[in-house]
Structure 1
Amino acid sequence: MTATAPKPPQHQPSGLDQRLLRRVMGEFSTGVTIVTYRDAEGECRGATMNSFTSVSMDPPLVLVSVARQARACAGLDGNPFTVNILSANQLAVALHFAGQPDPDLSVPWHEAADAPPRLLGSTAWLQCQPWQTYDGGDHVLVLGQVVRHDVRAIEPLTFHRGEFRRLGLKMFQMPRTVSFDGRPAVEWAASLHQLHGLAERGVGPDDCLDL
C-alpha cells in the first residue's frame, strides 16, 4: 500500500482547556523512540516521538503519530523508516532529535543500502515499509509494516509528566509492606502479603506460621 498524508479536516474548537488536557495526557507513561528515515537527498534524518504503539501482529504493523508541521511528516510520506526504541543512556540523542540539536554530538548511525537508517545503542528497533496513513487532527497517523527488528536486554528511556525518566524497580521487587502511595501499609496488610507469599510457595493451612 502507498502512504499519502491526508489533508487536515475542518473542525470546530473543542472548548477544552488544552494546558490541562496536556497534563492529563502526561500522566500516561511511555517509552521514547526516534523515528529515522532518509530525506529526498538521501540524508539520514530523525525525530523523537513518544506516540508509538503496536497495531497488529499479522501483518506486523506499528503506528507513530507525527505532528503535521514537523519536517518528519513530509519525510515519512511513502518512505521506509525505523522506529528506534531508546535506551536509558540515549537521553542526549533524544534531545538532539527533539529540537535541541547538539553540534558536538556524534549520532551513532547504522546504514545499509537496502534498509532505512537506524541508531546504534537502542534497546530495540523495527524497520518498516510504509503501509497507510490516516488523519489524526493536528497529527498524521503513520502505519508501517515491520520487515526487520531486533532487541537488547538493556534499560529503556521513559517519558512521564513532560520529563525523561528511567524505570524503577519491578513491582514485586518492592517491599510489600509499602502501599502504592509510598506510605507504610498497616500491620495486617503486611501479614496478608506474607500469607500470600507463603501460599505461592505451597505452604498449607496446617503449617506453623509465625506472623
Structure 2
Amino acid sequence: MTDTSLMKATGAGRFKQAMRSLAGSVNVVALQDPDGNLLGVTATAVCSLSAEPPSVIVCINQSSSLARGLQVGRLFSVSVLSEHQKEISEAFGGRKGVAGRNRFIYGEWHRSEDNVPILHGARACLECRVDDFIDYGTHRAAVGAVTDVHLEEMDDASLIFVNGQYFSVG
C-alpha cells in the first residue's frame, strides 16, 4: 500500500481523531497588524525549533486573520498559558463569541517596547519576528526568531489540551 492509498484508507477524519490524542501546551499567538488591529488566536501547534538561534514554529489555520498577519519581518508574541487562564484560551479560540480586538478584554495585556502584545500572568511570553513561513494544506507554519523572553515567577502549572479537554501539568 502506498502512502497516498494509506491516507485515503484512513481518511482526514481519522487523522484528526489521532491528532486529538497529542497533548499540547495551550498558547495565545498575538500581533498588531500594520493598520493597528490587534489579532490573536489560541494555538497548541507551537514548538521550539532551535536554541541557537532561539526560534519557534507556530502553525495557524490559514482561515484565521492572524495567519495572514504572519508575514516576514512582522513581530508577534507567543504567550504560554497557565492553568488559571482557561477563559483566555476559550476567548482566543473562538468559544466566547468574541473576535478581533474584543478578545483582548480577556486577560491583562500590555505592549512591549516593540509594541508587541504581552499577556501578564502567562507562564512565559516570547517576542518573535517572522523569519520565514510556509503555507501547507490548511495551515501556515511560521518560523519565529525569538527577540525577547518574559518569564513570570509563579507556582501555577501549565495549561494543556488533549482529546478536547483542558488539563494542568507541572
* Same fold per superposition (TM over 0.5): yes
Q: 1:134 is matched with which residue? A: 134
C-alpha separation between the residues in 2 aligned to 1:137 and 1:164?
Answer: 27
Please name the residue that 2:95 is paired with.
100
| Cross-structure match for 2:160 | 158
> Which amino acid letter does the alignment assign opposite residue 118 of structure 1?
I
Which structure 2 residue ranges, 5 or more long, are not aligned? none
Separation in structure 2 between the aligned mates of residue 140 and residue 112 of structure 1, nearest angstrom: 25
For these two proteins, the number of residue pairs brought into alignment is 157
- 8 Å contact from structure 1 (residues 115, 127) kept in 2: no
Kindly indicate whether the alpha-carbon contact (under 8 Å) linking 1:131 and 1:144 is maintained by their aligned counterparts in 2: yes
Task: Write the deviation string for residues 140-191 of structure 1: whole angstroms up to 9, x where unpaired.
Answer: 1101100100223421110011212222xx7xxxxxxxxxxxxxxxxxxxxx
Match of 1:20 in 2: 14
1:32 and 2:32 aligned: no
Percent identical:
25
Q: Structure 1: which 5+ runs fail to align?
A: 1-11, 171-211
Equivalent pair of 2:30/2:76 in contact (CA under 8 Å): yes
1:81 Cα deviation after fit? 0.3
- TM-score, normalising length: structure 1: 0.68
2:89 maps to 1:88: no
Q: 1:40 to 1:124 in 2, by over 3 A?
A: same
TM-score using structure 2 length: 0.83
Offset at residue 21 of structure 1 (A): 1.4
* Larger Rg, first or second structure (1 or 2): 1
CA RMSD of aligned residues (A): 2.1
The aligned runs of 1:132-211 (5 Å cut-off) are 132-152=132-152, 153=154, 154-167=156-169
Check whether the contact 2:39–2:65 (CA below 8 A) recurs between aligned residues. no
Q: Which has the higher strand share?
A: 2
